[in-house]
Amino acid sequence: MTDEMYFYGSGWQKFMHTIIWSVFDQRRCKCRLLFSLVLMAACFQSAIGAALRTQSFELKKGWNAIYLDVDPVIRAPGVVFAGVPVDIVASYEGTVFFRQYVADPNADLFKSLGWGTWYAPSREDSFLSELGAVYGKKSYLVHATEGATLSVDGTVSCTPRLWRADSYNLAGFSLSTQAPPTFATFFGGSSAHKNASIYRLNGGVWQKIIDTSNVAMKSGEAFWIYTDGPSSYQGPLEVTAGVGGSVVLRDGRVEDLILKNCTDFPINPSLEHVVPSGEFPLSIVVDVVGGVWTGIKQVPAALGNASWVVDLPALEADAGFKIPLALQSDKMVEAEVNSLLCIKSDLGTEIWVPLTGLREDLK
């Protein structure tokens, strides 16, 4: 929703702040405190060295519907929302058998099955909190006592969205903040969504969007959308990357990045490589046929060791690209490097993929 930053997860100050917060917030139960500290230490350790993205939201006083794309370094709600005037956070934790849609956040959250809620320690009802962790790739209803900016540091992944069939889904996406697509443009390639009812939170009330062709989406905003039948739709530009939504590169190993146009018109994609620190010698592998070689020879085309942006050829309707990625390990000076790859389109879509480069002989 606002500016974004990228860096490496090595902030011991944030970790110590987390411990201090836990001592005061979890004082009701020593066992719960010990468990929280162990869990936070494990989460912090897993994020060390990873390239992080900062996702920011402009919260309004009252209820806000946000989509968190990043997975927080520390997932405890009291840490994620520390220093921000937020007193209630809710997330749907139920299964397909429970009703997900709520008409009024002020009332329905407390009687709807499947919803987990966190209350700030300052509230008298904080002992009723059931939401123990905040995860990425999820939507949340957030109540702020006054307007504020919420910034969340976390890792990214390119894992597919799961839709609940024949149900309203609280969904959201990372999009361009300057020129996001309209709802009709974004969902035009999905038979399960292109004629769906969509509701946006406005002034604490869910309002139906009447003309989806003239209303723009917002990056990081969550909204209710009905899914008519099963769906695996990921957006106008679908991206498949690595295993578990991340790409790990080693010398001599090529990983394919797959892009597919899910619309009925051409899309112009681009790649943005974000290197927060150090160097990441990334290259694209080109198949060379003929000439002095017999058969096919794979030749890496270097793209540089720092951050860069590359415009790709137009991707025709229902067509796809396979982009082989490789690591130029001979140019590495560290055993491990990390970066982010953002795949953008001229429709205003953005998909983030984490990259890791490993050189075993430097360990």
The CATH number of the domain holding residue 311 is 2.60.40.10
How many angstroms separate the CA atoms of 306 and 41, rounded? 31
- 85 and 118 share a domain? yes
What is the reported pLDDT for 244? 85
**Sign of the alpha-carbon torsion through 262, 263, 266, 268:** negative
pLDDT over threshold 60, residue 335: yes
Is residue 43 pLDDT above 80, yes or no? no
**Share above pLDDT 90 across residues of the chain, in percent, rounded to a whole number:** 61
Is the residue at 119 inside a domain?
A: yes
Q: Is the pLDDT of residue 1 over 60?
A: no
Q: Is residue 355 part of a domain?
A: yes
What are the residues facing 89 on neighbouring strands?
Answer: 118, 142
Split into its structural domains, the chain has a count of 3
pLDDT at 362: 82
Whether pLDDT at 8 is above 80: no
Residue 161 covered by a domain: no
Contacts of 268 (CB under 8 A, 6+ apart): 311, 312, 314, 315, 345, 346
Q: Are residues 252 and 140 in the same domain?
A: no
Per residue, the 3-state secondary structure of 37-73, as one string, reads HHHHHHHHHHHCCCEEEEEEEEECCEEEEEEECCEEC
Per-position DSSP letters for 314-345, written without gaps between them: PB-TT-EEEEEEEE-GGG-SSSEEEEEEEEEE
Cα separation, 334 vs 187, in Å, equals 43
Higher pLDDT, 355 or 302: 355
Q: Is residue 357 a part of any domain in this protein? A: yes
For residues 137 and 19, state if they share a domain. yes
Residue 67 belongs to a domain:
yes
Identify whether residues 217 and 308 lie together within a single domain: no
Q: Report yes or no on 270 lying in a domain.
A: yes
pLDDT mean over 243-271: 92
> 79-107 burial, b if ≥16 CB within 10 A, otherwise e?
bbbbebebbbbbbbeeeeeeebebeebee
Residues 222 and 243 in one domain: no
Domain of 256? 237-362
Query: Would you place residue 4 in the very low, low, confident or very high pLDDT band (cuts 50, 70, 90)?
Result: low
Assess whether 271 and 218 both reside in one domain.
no
Q: Are 172 and 223 in contact (CB under 8 A)?
A: yes
- Domain end marker among 130, 155, 180: 155
Q: Rounded mean pLDDT of 266-279? A: 92
Task: Tell whether 232 is covered by a domain.
Answer: no
Report residue 20: phi and psi, to 5°.
Answer: -60, -45
pLDDT, tens digit (0-9, with 9 covering 90-100), for 88-137: 999 987 654 445 566 666 655 655 567 889 999 999 999 989 899 999 99
39 close to 46: Cβ distance less than 8 angstroms: no
Instruction: Please identify, among 186, 202, 227, the residue that sits at the C-terminal boundary of a domain.
Output: 227
Is residue 320 included in any domain, yes or no?
A: yes
* CB hemisphere CA count around 62 (13 angstroms): 8
pLDDT in tens, 168-217: 999 999 999 999 999 999 999 999 999 999 999 998 889 999 999 999 99
For residue 182, give the DSSP letter.
B
Q: Are residues 12 and 113 in the same domain?
A: yes
Q: What is the pLDDT of residue 270?
A: 94
Closest among 356, 358, 137, 359 to 247, alpha carbons compared: 356
* 204 and 108 share one domain: no
Note whether 264 and 345 are same-domain residues.
yes
Give the domain-ending residue among 155, 180, 211. 155
Domain identity same for 219 and 248: no
Q: Highest-confidence range of 205-219, 247-261, 274-288, by mean pLDDT?
A: 205-219
| Average of per-residue pLDDT across 15-29 | 42
Distance CA 186, CA 94 (A): 27
Whether residues 179 and 145 fall in one domain: no
Same domain, 93 and 173: no
